[in-house]
Structure 1
Amino acid sequence: MEPRQRRWFLREPSPDARMLLLCMPYSGCGASMYRAWPATIGEAEVVPLQLPWRENRMREPHFGTYEELAAALLDDVGELLTSRPYALFGHCGGALPAFETVIGIAERGLPAPVRYFVSSQVAPQDGPWGRFLGLDDQGLRDEIAGLLTAMGAAASADELVDLFIDVMHADLEANRKYFRPAGTVPCPITALGWDDDVEVPHRLMGGWQAWAPTDKVVLPGTHYTFLDAPSALVRVLADRLTLGSGSLAP
């Protein structure tokens, strides 16, 4: 019997993958934003997550809050996390729902991820943070146009901006509502900053150390450099997604 196709994946993870890297999309975007990433990094298969109200799930309502998103995701894919090691990655507006998923995993008693990778985002006790949160509609439309260009779309694709704008508004509202006092999670954290990132300067990311042992890496690039899976980022991920004798590297 063919494995069922979960709505959270563009394609089901390979049953032969030794490890999974679950990648949460950026605010306003869907799983296809990871199309430039390799299929595998280190020993992990790259698995972009698809969220409701975008791309092939456009007919579904918005997830609401990060807590509701994490609960719905784990209701459907939680059993998958018991079958092999896995890690989570999130950048900026995708980092906080990914982290709320880590918290939900711990609350449900599921096996902990081997690592959580956070890129360009402050810790939840230090937010919400970000210039996008205070933009008016036109300012947000301009930023979406820039994001689409960075993702390879035509700069003049106004119809694409129209598709993104409502999703972006709802995602930013979820960001505004999200706050957690510092606590603990049962996995190490790698905090990834970018030396030319003016949206979330890497110096603001120190709060992640309150949650778990954290190593911080500053990479060359801007806020959107991660979209192209630059070699420096892939190396950092691969070095920490190597299965050894029951432990992470490094």
Structure 2
Amino acid sequence: MTNGSADPLRRWLPRPLPETPSRIFCLPYSGAGASMFSRWPDVAGDTGLCPVQLPGRENRLREPHFGTYEQLAKDVVEALLPVMDRPFGLFGHCSSALIAFEIAAVLHREGLPMPRRLFCSSQVAPHEGPYGSYLTMTDEQLRAELVALTDSELDDTLLDLVTEVLRADVEANKAYHPAEPVLLDTSITAIGWSADQEVAPERMSGWDQYSKKVHRVVLPGVHHTFLEAPAALLTQFTDGMASDD
């Protein structure tokens, strides 16, 4: 493996970079960082799973927030383009599916290498948003959500910091609304979850307008089941990266 320790790559890819035939760059959702994928394996079949660290959180806490999804996507492309040197995919769940899409859109506009596949989990199509329960929550409600998600493992000072990050992420989500679909030259796997109370699988049909090759699947589980790296999800990764249909 290559550890990618030289700046600026190490800031974006905190895990050693797998020297696998293909890679999936995995983006954390609102309020979270790369540690969100701590229960995921480093590889799935012949595909390396590469969590991406965003500015303003965890080991990048002292850096300014990324601002907008559009700016973040440009920054990700600039940083990761050197390691997009083999077949790669992009994975995002909930809000980070929009970030994954915007990264693909930047690559498309700039005529750069496109992902073999975009894996979008539990998110409506970009032009149908913004969408999600967090978007209308107060800071107090967001804080309560974080307490519930972390089982109160955060002290008050850290909880304040994470709530601030989550609020900035939510504002970026609220500001992101592409006017119309963009047809990408890549395959898309739109992943719904059978018992998802946040985004029902049928709400994801809008992704059909973003590629001529869209594969919609419904996996067993709830909104956060993906964090456990279920076998059904890993199979989608290995099968999806082995095919461009």
TM over 0.5: yes
Name the SS for the 1:89 alignment partner: strand
Q: Is the 8 A contact 1:34 1:227 kept in 2?
A: yes
Q: Distance in 2 between matches of 1:175 and 1:54?
A: 17
Partner residue, 2:239: 239
Q: TM-score, normalised by structure 2?
A: 0.92
Q: Which amino acid aligns with 1:31?
A: A
Cα pair 2:195 2:220 within 8 Å, conserved: yes
CA drift at 1:37: 0.5
Show the counterpart of 2:73: 70
Residue 132 of structure 1: how far off its partner (Å): 0.8
> Which 5+ residue runs of structure 2 have no aligned equivalent?
none
Measured after TM superposition, the shift of residue 94 of structure 1 is 1.0
2-side partners of 1:187 and 1:228: how far apart?
Answer: 27
CA contact (8 A) 2:88 2:115 kept: yes
Give the equivalent residue in structure 2 for 1:9.
Answer: 13
Within the candidate set 92, 115, 119, 2:94 is matched to 92
Match of 2:48 among 11, 34, 45: 45
Matches of 2:150 and 2:112, distance apart in 1: 36
Cα separation, 1, equivalents of 2:199 and 2:158: 25
Say which SS state the counterpart of residue 87 (structure 1) adopts. Answer: strand
Amino acid at match of 1:214: V
Alignment of 1:113-124 (within 5 A): 113-124=115-126
Letter in 1 for 2:189: T
Deviations 1:124-179 (A, max 9, x none): 11000011101112211111122223xxx73x754442231000000010100111
Deviation at 1:12, TM superposition (A): 4.2
Q: Work out the percentage of aligned pairs sharing the same amino acid.
A: 43
- SS of the aligned residue for 1:182 comes to coil
Aligned pairs, how many? 239
The answer on whether the counterparts of 2:117 and 2:244 sit within 8 Å (CA) in structure 1 is no
The one of 166, 174, 178 aligned to 1:168: 166
- For the structure 1 residues 160 and 194, does the alpha-carbon distance in structure 2 shift closer, same or farther, using more than 3 Å as the test? farther
Shift of 1:249: 6.1
CA contact (8 A) 1:239 1:249 kept: no
2:57 counterpart residue number: 54
TM-score normalised by length of structure 1:
0.90
Q: Distance in 2 between matches of 1:234 and 1:80?
A: 22
In structure 2, C-alpha distance between the alignment counterparts of 1:160 and 1:134, rounded to whole Å: 23
Gap runs ≥5 in structure 1: 243-247
Match of 2:215 in 1: 215
